[in-house]
């Protein structure tokens, strides 16, 4: 199979690092014009320079802005122009004891992890429907299904994102536009390294810390290691392509077998 996104414009939120950066690189390698997004213009510029240094064939544009606000989202969309592929990757996470999660933190998680995606969906989906083609991918998490005791605010926000995806897929029914969630499992990013060291002995070397984290906190993983961001990106690229035309309203798992369930 060949994934060809030539002449398509993709917006990947939170794409200056981690999973978002890997998704942006993979979509660009498939021929898409990719908008790199982050809150700080400097980090966006640096990311574009680094991605182009890896491959000068990548068609990348800068789309800085805070999509958790209406003005920021407007600025980002203005930089993109027409959006054919929307990847709502932006998200925050962190360990907090359940009884210590106050109202402000609950609101913050829903603003960033849910409403930023809804805001961009409202803005881009009508154009996709009018053109008769489009792809929306919302990056969810295994935590949406297996709510972690140490961060229920995160898991609950990702559960809501699964519902958002299914609902908007119904809005786009029969139009040639697909809306899906990608359930990412425990993934190796800089932010996750920090999170791992919140839960295991900080003096351990990374390889030992990772194994200890998986053993103690994610023992049901069949992969028995953290997933690499590129492995998430490969699934996103497929779902963003014309090849995935019959997949919509789905929650597709790239979780290393972490969720002990046959479906989804």
List, as one string, the DSSP characters of 56-86: TT-EEEE----TTSHHHHHHHHHHH-S-SEE
26 CB burial (10 A radius; 0-12, 13-18, 19+): buried
Cβ(128)–Cβ(134) under 8 Å? yes
Quote the CA–CA distance of 177 and 174 in Å, as a whole number: 8
11, two tokens: 């917006």
154 part of the active site? yes
Catalytic choice (109, 154, 197, 238):
154
Quote the CA–CA distance of 64 and 45 in Å, as a whole number: 9
Q: Give the residue from 41, 19, 3 showing the smallest Cα distance to 93.
A: 19
Count CB atoms within 10 A of the CB of residue 180. Answer: 24
Give the CA distances from residue 130 to residues 135, 176, 177, in Å, rounded to whole numbers and listed in that order. 13, 10, 10
Count CB atoms within 10 A of the CB of residue 160. Answer: 19
18-29 helix and 229-240 helix, angle to the nearest 10 degrees: 50
As a residue count, the chain comes to: 264
Q: Give the residue from 123, 195, 111, 126 showing the smallest Cα distance to 161.
A: 111
Catalytic residues: 154
């Amino acid at each position: 199979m060949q994934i060809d996104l030539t002449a398509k414009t993709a917006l990947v939120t939170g794409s200056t690092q981690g999973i978002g950066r890997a998704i942006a690189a993979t979509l660009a390698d498939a021929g898409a014009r990719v908008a790199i997004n982050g809150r700080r213009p400097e980090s966006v510029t640096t990311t574009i320079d680094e991605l182009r240094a890896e491959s000068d064939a990548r068609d990348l544009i800068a789309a800085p802005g805070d999509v958790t606000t209406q003005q920021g989202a407007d600025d980002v969309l203005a930089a993109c122009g027409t959006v054919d592929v929307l990847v709502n990757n932006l998200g925050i996470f962190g360990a907090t004891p359940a009884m210590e999660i106050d109202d402000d933190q609950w609101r913050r998680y829903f603003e960033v992890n849910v409403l930023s995606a809804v805001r961009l969906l409202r803005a881009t989906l009508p154009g996709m429907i009018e053109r008769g083609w489009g792809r929306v991918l919302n990056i969810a998490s295994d935590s949406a299904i297996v709510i972690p005791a140490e961060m229920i605010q995160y898991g609950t926000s990702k559960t809501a994102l699964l519902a958002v995806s299914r609902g908007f897929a119904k809005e786009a029914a029969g139009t040639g536009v697909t809306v899906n969630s990608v359930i990412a499992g425990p993934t190796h990013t800089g932010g996750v390294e920090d999170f791992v060291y919140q839960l295991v002995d900080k003096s351990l070397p990374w390889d030992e810390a990772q194994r200890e984290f998986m053993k103690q906190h994610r023992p049901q993983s069949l992969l028995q290691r953290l997933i690499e961001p590129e492995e998430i990106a490969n699934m996103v690229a497929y779902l963003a392509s014309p090849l995935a035309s019959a997949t919509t309203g789905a929650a597709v798992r790239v979780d290393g077998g972490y969720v002990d369930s046959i479906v989804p």
